[in-house]
Structure 1
Amino acid sequence: MESSTTAAQLPSKTSYGILIIMGICHLLNDSLQAVVPAMFPILETSLGLSYTQLGLIAFSLNMVASVMQPIFGWYTDSFPLPYALPLGMGSTLCGMLLLGLAPSYTVILFSVMLIGVGSAIFHPAGSRVAFLAGGTRRGLAQSIYQVGGNTGQALAPLITAIILLPYGQKGALWFVPVALLSVFLLVLIANWYKGRLSSFLIRKKVTEQQTKKPKQRIYKALGIVLFLIFARSWYISCMTNFYAFYLIHDYHFTIRSSQLYLFAFLAAGALGTFLGGPLADRFGRKNIIFFSLAGSAPFTIILPYVSASAVIILLLLAGFVIMTSFSVTVIYAQELFPGKVGTMAGLTVGFAFGMGAVGSVALGIAADFIGIASTIKWIGFLPLLGIFTLMLPSDTVLKRWHQE
């Protein structure tokens, strides 16, 4: 047992090739998922949908992913399923095919639920692969993995401008080959994962034996992390689903130009996601989480009040800063509960999706009642909740807790 423990504790080499392929797969997965909100301006016109109905589409997509992610993550922590990754992408493929051909609002809701199921399976499994391939550089590994997803989400406005505007709803069919490519790549990843599963299970067993039962303060810290994810997710949800309408209505942008501005925000967020992990490795998880939320507040608050020429600058700053915590909150939660890699990844990312889903509906209703401009102005204050990061234990204190 002693030799197994020693081997399990030795730092493993970072597998950059696997991380890059996993990042590409995450990009493809989330770009497929991003087709749904990218189609909102098309669906609003073709089906005459209200903001509330559009919010319900986003709710159906994200809530399915949110509820299933922690459940699937918890299950696969005990019973790993290497080939779940390509199977999950198969569900997304079916959803994309149905979305492009859906004749009614009801069928659209069903199709996005299939995409949500695929996302729920993909994310905790993908995070576990990133954890295993990352070795001792967990922050960097999660950033490489997560930046793929955020880059895929950032492509949504370009998808609208380049594909959905010319081809309408059937433009979703263009992404079926993308899903097929993703299935192929994920089969390769699953083969690699299967070959290293035994060593991962040994390391996980040793970690669980050495980790004492979590105390109340650990659960309190997790609650704070989830609260911070709520604040970030609602702001991102508002920007992703409704900010384009604000630019169209209040700044008189065209659909195409509004999507390009939204792309700038999301692309800056992808860059922030990539740099957030390495910065957390250097400066600490808690410090980067605080910087991400509280540091973005000045930009999000004044954004609705600046001229059109200054909007792009604030979008870049706000998007970059607020997303530096995206991968870091996942790592922080995993370090709160060592050995629960999939569960914590599923919980944090799933909770982010769930809060985005609830936010989509709530903010859609708000936009219908108080107007899109007022909604954008009020939502800019949400990042101020980042002040609650000060209640989290520092990285050093967290390590000491687990040694007590």
Structure 2
Amino acid sequence: MNKKYLYMLSAGHLSVDINSGSLPALLPFFVSEYGMDYTSIAGLMFASSFLSSIIQPLFGWLADKGSRQWFMVLGVLMAGLSLGVTGFVTNYWSIFAAVTLMGIGSSIFHPEAARNVNAIAGKKKGQGMSIFSVGGNGGFGLGPLLAVFLVTTFGMKGTAFYAIASLFTAAMIALAAPAIRRESARQLAAVTKKATDNPIPRENDWRAFSRLFLVIVFRSTLFTAISSFLPLFCIQVLGASHAVGSATLSIISIAGVLATLVGGLLADRKGYVRTMRYGACLLVPCLAVIVFTQNIWAVYAMLIPMSFAMQGPYAAFVVLGQSYLAKSLGFASGVTLGLSFSLGGIIVPSLGWYADSYGIAAVMLVILAISICCAAATFLLPEPKKA
């Protein structure tokens, strides 16, 4: 496993996902600077996730047809340049189009990059995917902080940073692409030789993948719901300040970087299915403590365990999807990396309606119930066939 190339791909992952992570923090500035209403803001979030979630498996399917290193370069450029434009135009539909292109850029990057990571990682696929995933998690964690700093320091034109950063990152990946292709081919050749000595057919297990998809639906809903309602629960139910409530997500994101690395190592040693079960089962008591104690100190005590429960299995479920669809790595990556974030954005608005009708405390009980369903669903997952 050549970690140098994994770090480069992780840097590309950071460059792409820092745009998606920055968008929510830019929305209040769109309201104050451009006069957008809440319906318009919701439309931008929809634009960033809905179309990209549909087409990302398509780009994964295309990646499976042959090496397309330029997908990674194009994805980095589209994501960064598109978000960078939003600080220089004021027309809503222009911004809507830019945000849509940002989401498409993310969809183009992820499947091809994850396919290369799978090849380069060799036998240590969990560790390799965790290194790659740290870039994405870091992007989502640092994005809001960076967005606020840029706009408060330089005004809306501070978004130009995203475009400039994408140019440098895309150039790095473009220069390294031939070496990444050679390393991927070398690792795949080694796997092919081993398979020749001990032949095990590479097959797609769609039944197992459909069960994993069920877990992805629950997991994505939990991620988005916790991100949306945990700060509000702390503020409105527990009486915490806005700063204390919002800090919960920052702690989960920062601890998630370490959790992702530890989870990757655990996945290689204990297995991908078992790692997912550990994470899903750990999340249930963490949420139960938060919901039933209704104490802000109890919430903070649960944040780091929650981070490990949520972020630790990240590499495991991506590699597990690739293991189930061994002949369609790009498509599997498109689903696990794409839908795992966007599906929640489609489902969670119904929880918002429920919260409006019955209160934040009631919706937290629903989130707890979803976590129990997610944990139960992981026990339906079969162990992948070993190559």
TM-score normalized by the length of structure 1: 0.84
- Please report how far the alpha carbon of residue 262 of structure 1 lies from its aligned counterpart in structure 2 after TM superposition: 1.4
User: Within 2, Cα distance between the matches of 1:354 and 1:38?
Assistant: 17
User: Within 1, Cα distance between the matches of 2:368 and 2:26?
Assistant: 24
1:211 to 197, 201, 209: 201
Cα separation, partners in 2 of 1:188 and 1:297, compared to 1, 3 Å:
farther
1:196-345 matches, within 5 Å, as 196=183, 199=186, 211=201, 214=204, 218-251=205-238, 256-304=243-291, 305-345=293-333
Residue 209 of structure 2 aligns with an amino acid whose one-letter code is L
1:80 to 67, 73, 78: 67
Greater displacement, 250-259 / 234-243: 250-259
- Please report how far the alpha carbon of residue 116 of structure 1 lies from its aligned counterpart in structure 2 after TM superposition: 0.6
Aligned residue number for residue 127 of structure 1: 114
User: Within 1, Cα distance between the matches of 2:104 and 2:241?
Assistant: 34
User: Within 2, Cα distance between the matches of 1:192 and 1:96?
Assistant: 29
Cα separation, partners in 2 of 1:126 and 1:137, compared to 1, 3 Å:
same
2:367 to 368, 379, 382: 379
- Please report how far the alpha carbon of residue 273 of structure 1 lies from its aligned counterpart in structure 2 after TM superposition: 1.8
Alignment of 1:388 with 2:347, yes or no, is no
Cα separation, partners in 2 of 1:314 and 1:166, compared to 1, 3 Å:
farther
Q: Deviations over 1:166-200 (max 9, x none)?
A: 66654433322222222122213323223346556
SS of 1:34's partner is: helix
Asked if the contact 2:202/2:327 (under 8 Å) is kept, the reply is: no
Alignment of 1:152 with 2:152, yes or no, is no
Asked if the contact 2:137/2:253 (under 8 Å) is kept, the reply is: yes
- Please report how far the alpha carbon of residue 353 of structure 1 lies from its aligned counterpart in structure 2 after TM superposition: 2.8
Cα separation, partners in 2 of 1:157 and 1:314, compared to 1, 3 Å:
farther
- Please report how far the alpha carbon of residue 118 of structure 1 lies from its aligned counterpart in structure 2 after TM superposition: 0.9
Cα separation, partners in 2 of 1:185 and 1:212, compared to 1, 3 Å:
closer
SS of 2:87's partner is: helix
Q: Deviations over 1:47-84 (max 9, x none)?
A: 4643x654443232122221122111111111221122
Asked if the contact 2:81/2:166 (under 8 Å) is kept, the reply is: no
1:329-368 matches, within 5 Å, as 329-368=317-356
User: Within 1, Cα distance between the matches of 2:132 and 2:21?
Assistant: 17
Calculate the aligned-residue CA RMSD, in Å.
2.9
Asked if the contact 1:84/1:121 (under 8 Å) is kept, the reply is: yes
Asked if the contact 1:32/1:179 (under 8 Å) is kept, the reply is: no
TM-score normalized by the length of structure 2: 0.87
Identical-residue share of aligned pairs (%): 24
1:88-103 matches, within 5 Å, as 88-103=75-90
User: Within 2, Cα distance between the matches of 1:318 and 1:375?
Assistant: 18
User: Within 2, Cα distance between the matches of 1:53 and 1:302?
Assistant: 36
Residue 379 of structure 2 aligns with an amino acid whose one-letter code is L
Structure 1, unmatched stretches of 5+, are 1-13
User: Within 2, Cα distance between the matches of 1:92 and 1:300?
Assistant: 34
Structure 2, unmatched stretches of 5+, are none
User: Within 2, Cα distance between the matches of 1:378 and 1:168?
Assistant: 40
User: Within 2, Cα distance between the matches of 1:64 and 1:34?
Assistant: 17
Cα separation, partners in 2 of 1:378 and 1:54, compared to 1, 3 Å:
farther
2:176 to 183, 189, 206: 189
* Greater length-normalized contact order (CA 8 Å, ≥ 6 residues apart): 1
Residue 314 of structure 1 aligns with an amino acid whose one-letter code is M
1:108-123 matches, within 5 Å, as 108-123=95-110
SS of 1:393's partner is: coil
1:141 to 128, 135, 143: 128
Cα separation, partners in 2 of 1:213 and 1:160, compared to 1, 3 Å:
closer
SS of 1:381's partner is: helix
User: Within 1, Cα distance between the matches of 2:318 and 2:77?
Assistant: 25
Asked if the contact 1:92/1:115 (under 8 Å) is kept, the reply is: yes
Residue 176 of structure 1 aligns with an amino acid whose one-letter code is A
- Please report how far the alpha carbon of residue 145 of structure 1 lies from its aligned counterpart in structure 2 after TM superposition: 0.5
- Please report how far the alpha carbon of residue 256 of structure 1 lies from its aligned counterpart in structure 2 after TM superposition: 4.8
Cα separation, partners in 2 of 1:41 and 1:253, compared to 1, 3 Å:
farther
- Please report how far the alpha carbon of residue 140 of structure 1 lies from its aligned counterpart in structure 2 after TM superposition: 0.5
Greater displacement, 282-291 / 59-68: 59-68
User: Within 1, Cα distance between the matches of 2:143 and 2:278?
Assistant: 26
Asked if the contact 1:22/1:145 (under 8 Å) is kept, the reply is: yes
User: Within 1, Cα distance between the matches of 2:169 and 2:306?
Assistant: 31
Asked if the contact 1:19/1:133 (under 8 Å) is kept, the reply is: yes
Residue 350 of structure 1 aligns with an amino acid whose one-letter code is G
